[in-house]
Amino acid sequence: MPSRRIRVGMPNRWEHACPLSRESMAPRWPTCLPGCAVKACHPCDPWGGAAWADITKFMANTTKMARVSDENAGSAGSVVKELTSLPHSKIRGLFDQGCITVNGETCEKAGDRVRPGDELCVNYDPEQGYREKKKKWADRTFSIVYEDEQIIVVNKSAGALTVSTDHGERNTLVSRVSHYLKHSGRQREALVVHRLDRGVSGLLVFAKTPAVLAALQEQFKERRPERRYVAIVAGTLAQSAGTFRSYLASGDNLDQFTTRKESHGELAITHYRVQKVLDGATVVDVRLETGRRNQIRVHFADHGNPVLGDPRYGREKAMHERWVPKRLALHAASLGFTHPTTGKPLLFEARLPNSMARFIGK
């Protein structure tokens, strides 16, 4: 390694460091570790010339230490800035690369608080560029379940709009996923294949190219994808399993309603099976054959068993003393389809959100 002397404090006085120790050799001298090639690592006068007589090599890394005072107490990053005068991007890189310790413990975040009396140590090579580690994407509206060059499957959080309404909302799921794709350097936008209601959580697939979008939409049009939901509905169902079949139409306020006139609505088919009967509620496994807007909510409300927490369909019955969350008790738990490029069958599952799992007792 190239030799380096480290200037500290007073003119013409030098600090040196044990190459096997991360501690500074001044103002106090630690015991050298076995195998140290710096012969001067012993308790002698650090300012005397004799201390350098037998040095064969110096450590490439610079070690800088500071005891936090009342004046500079605050974030660890600000103390490192004072010690190194490096730009903030490189300082974050030092933290990411494990170059910072506080009281002997590795400090990984520049924002961590340091208090008066804490001892902060920076061990780094001034000639080396310390880049920040790429941060794992974190977003409150979704988590990534699967991604390749053609598609991305996400687990949507309840409360997020899939797309904007006539009010022009900006922070929608599709905008957040598109932002992630651009952040990842792919320079693509997420293309909407299907949707989930705002109060519903669970699985959605987005396309990355128009060709993939068309192929996936064709599958949904032909009712080929497997879409399974878990719902907690009010009351007790008359049958343990069954199928709801009706025609759904939209009202002036965009609410869906059942109509007997085939020409006035779209065919909606929902299959269900009771999973567990609770006090005043029932857990059902739901499979969609068609995917009309609000389909599950309308079908169960029409039969006197609205989804818990539903403010639109069967609102009064949808209330339960134990259902506190401001969301629907409805989760898209399973999504299966054929990959539009490879032709391989894909099946994804998303576990129940905590609010539903606690209510059910899982």
Enzyme catalytic residues: 197
Three-state SS string over 9-74 comes to CCCCCEECECCCCCCECCCCCCCCCCCCCECCCCCCCCCCHHHHCCECCCCCCEEEEEECCCCCCE
Per-residue burial over 322-342, b = 16 or more CB atoms within 10 Å of its CB, e = otherwise: ebebebbbbbbbbbebeebee
Contact 259/249 with Cβ under 8 angstroms? yes
Token pair belonging to 128: 């080396």
d(CA 100, CA 95): 6
- Closest to 286 in 3D by CA, of 226, 341, 356, 235: 226
Q: What are phi and psi of 267, to 5 degrees?
A: -65, 130
Output the six-digit token pair for 318. Answer: 């949808």
Distance CA 169, CA 175 (A): 10
> In terms of residues, how long is the chain?
362
- For the chain, helix (H) and strand (E) counts, in that order, are 6, 19
- The 3-state DSSP class for residue 183 equals helix
> HSE-up of 5 (CA within 13 Å, CB side)?
12
